[in-house]
Amino acid sequence: MGLLLKDKPTIGFIGFGQMGGAIAHAIHGAFDGYAILAVESNPARQEWMRSECSYVRPVAFSELFEQCHVIFLAIKPQQVSDLAQKVLPYLQSNHCLISMLAGVSYLSLTELFNPAQIVRIMPNTPAKLAKGVTGIYHDSNVSEQSKGLVIELCQSFGRVLVLDSDHDMDIITAMSGSGPAFFYRMVDAFVRFGVSSGLDDRVAKEAAINTMIGAGHMLLNDPNPQDQIQRVASPNGTTQAGLEMMDHQEFDTLMEKVLHRSYERAVELSKESLC
């Protein structure tokens, strides 16, 4: 039995917007009976929390930091300095803050929230369906207990990848944080092709979306994309013709540029967060 299941800690949230709400929902579903407390400043989100999330108790910072050892930071990155000033009086070294703030570096977080332990995570939107990919990074100041807890909590909304450095977090931000949008663009192109070639919208969407899901499942069985491509493409066939056009249009170079630009932006944001 893991630490979480044994200890039943109270989980805290600061910010209960899109991601905070999705993650709290997954944790509530996986660990029924755990107390979840949240501080949310937006009146509309407070109302949503009250009406849709009866399992969450709205609290003030003083109670949150008194009751919770593990607290998710789920505010916008640009709100982090304001937040740090507000919560500084409550922070102790046994608090573990889990930041999901895109582009706020580990170093900035440790400086802003000293003396709390910091774990940086990068979830993605499929976390809403417990199908997320979440990168996790922390340094050696994080206790074994906090580490175990964070991993278990994040597993409730999908796969967890423990990373070796904050730099790896910038790569994961591009690949799996932004990644869903790149796959959606690909599906959108499929749908537009289907419709412009004569399919109705519903059929085109079903074909494109289920092809992507099916291909994803095939990759889970055999995670080698080159082998999977070989199995679909027969010599001189339709797939081969399409793949040759992808080569001709330098598709691999384009995707490399797309991911690299997204990664560069994550690095830029991390540097800006240090200013």
Ligand X SMILES: NC(=O)c1ccc[n+]([C@@H]2O[C@H](COP(=O)([O-])OP(=O)(O)OC[C@H]3O[C@@H](n4cnc5c(N)ncnc54)[C@H](OP(=O)(O)O)[C@@H]3O)[C@@H](O)[C@H]2O)c1
Which spans of this chain sit near ligand X (rule: CB under 6 A)? Answer: 14-15, 17-20, 39-42, 45, 74-77, 79, 83, 86, 100-102, 122-125, 177
Shortest reach from residue 7's CB to ligand X, in Å: 26
The SS3 of residue 202 is helix
Neighbouring residues of 42: CB distance < 8 A, sequence distance ≥ 6 = 17
In this structure, what DSSP letter does residue 174 have? I
Shortest reach from residue 204's CB to ligand X, in Å: 26
Chain position whose Cβ is nearest to ligand X: 17
Based on the number of CB atoms within 10 Å of its own CB, is 96 exposed (0-12), middle (13-18) or buried (19 or more)?
A: buried
The residue among 18 and 211 lying less far from ligand X, judged by its C-beta, is 18
Shortest reach from residue 87's CB to ligand X, in Å: 8
Q: At what angle do helices 201-221 and 179-196 cross, to 10 degrees?
A: 140
The residue among 41 and 145 lying less far from ligand X, judged by its C-beta, is 41
Shortest reach from residue 58's CB to ligand X, in Å: 10
Shortest reach from residue 5's CB to ligand X, in Å: 26
Shortest reach from residue 75's CB to ligand X, in Å: 4
The residue among 97 and 204 lying less far from ligand X, judged by its C-beta, is 97
The residue among 112 and 204 lying less far from ligand X, judged by its C-beta, is 112
E-strand ranges in the chain read 11-14, 36-39, 56-58, 70-73, 96-99, 117-122, 132-138, 158-162
The residue among 123 and 158 lying less far from ligand X, judged by its C-beta, is 123
Angle at 30 between CA 33 and CA 122, to 5 degrees: 120
Neighbouring residues of 83: CB distance < 8 A, sequence distance ≥ 6 = 14, 73, 75
The residue among 125 and 228 lying less far from ligand X, judged by its C-beta, is 125
